[in-house]
Structure 1
């Protein structure tokens, strides 16, 4: 029988919960013994008793039960005290942000325990139901629009009243990946007029299907990786892109940027010069601030005003809908674990030859095994 510990993220500002009680029950039903750190669900009003009612045990000292544990589940990477307490047989599963945590990855390698990155799950059909990045990105797109509307001094929809007609707000969405498409859909549901741009011509049909206008900018050869991520553009392509986008930014009330390149720093798309041309009272939401930001002058977890334009750089926008974010994360996590459960042995088997494990395993048996990282 595998013994599992569910541990809270080391980020105290993150109200999400890695595993909700109803999903924890599913692991118990598989045959796991599940330990839950005391207070795990307190940010969502979930009590220790709620977990106990589903078959879990509660521990107020997670590091003290590690000798009995095989697998640790968390939202993020292991905290320093947990990593120091891990032994070689432990497996830590969470979103590890390994590209930005190179020093920690080397420490995990030295400690000899196994780490599996949920944010490295491949974008394949079989792994779709485990894809934490996509599920959370959906919520980022939604939250970006809501945050923008809250800070905008205009209404989103058109209104025809006895006092006159109010024109709809104009949104410009940069990037039509999962977050961008959800931002488009949410803004359209609110009645806004939406333009959208992405250098990948393949997404034009998806943008139009949501009721937005797709902006075409000729940049030469662009495209996406085999996993569906946008390829990095060359410097001259980015400059051409900025020149063309400046006109759309100047006529927009809200600009939402979601452009990221997997494993690399986010491209700077919105310059100060472009910001200065935008209408007074308009809003920019930098949805890529955690990976360097798309907007010049944006501040991580900050809100600044430049020439009357509000620039919002809130990190982890999915946290603003923490209940649903936790539900989706829990489902992804249980789907991942269930895929590797072997009923005959009543245990998980993380086969390094499996394509999902090949993509997501970061450290194992004292080695950095991820082909995505260049830390050797």
Structure 2
């Protein structure tokens, strides 16, 4: 008998298992994949640490979370400075003075603000009814058409006019010459890849891979006093209120006989006609000098049962369905629903670490009171 069965060996499950194992609890971690680390899993190809499930750049303003992660890896000084390609034009991201100079040939913040203001006013949108109108009311026609529209429609699999306005609550526009994508104080990539972090987190914890919770649910559920479930909450409840909507991703990896393919770790392709949203060149995450390179094309896909869900579609319809599952989860004794899929909410890595640490603290506290 285990104290905790943790379904999912991703970042949340690994952090929670580490904390509870250190607290003297007996944990079993299972994962249906053949590796630990979940979506942060990295593997080595041609001496390069490949982010198997898309670019993962750790960033946070939370010093406690940053210090915690640095217990398990040394982080380098990588700064996320992606670029965007629209047809034959190249733009810096996030939207900053370099972007505006590339787009309009201007040099000063005053000029950029004037152009954006004129374009926003020309649209005449008072109450945005969809994502397209929301974006136009924030940054105007040029930025929207070249850098937002096609990318967003590929990402969500819907026309921008069919997406709710609240998906883009704000668009970061910076009137400085800085290509640093994140505003967070701490940022970097773990030297040697993320899988090493998962390995260290799970030291001393029993792990079973290629183990599907739902294929032997009764036996797994009977093995522990409590379950931490990081899978899809609607699947856990047998879809009784219907399917929640997710977006999936497909990754196409390629080894190239060149030492530098695109000169940047992340390049976004913003025109709709190109089916992938971005190309990742992994060696640049760790400033690699290997003779070859590995790139990954990232294709957004519609989620269907049987393929991997990557992020929730948090619109009004799905919010109403999730609320029914959330209420069921509250009455499901002995089960903690966690992570992007268990809570049906988009989290970055630092959020996941914080949530797992907070939940582990609550568990230790509640048991201390018994």
Scaled by the length of structure 2, what TM-score is found? Answer: 0.27
Scaled by the length of structure 1, what TM-score is found? Answer: 0.26
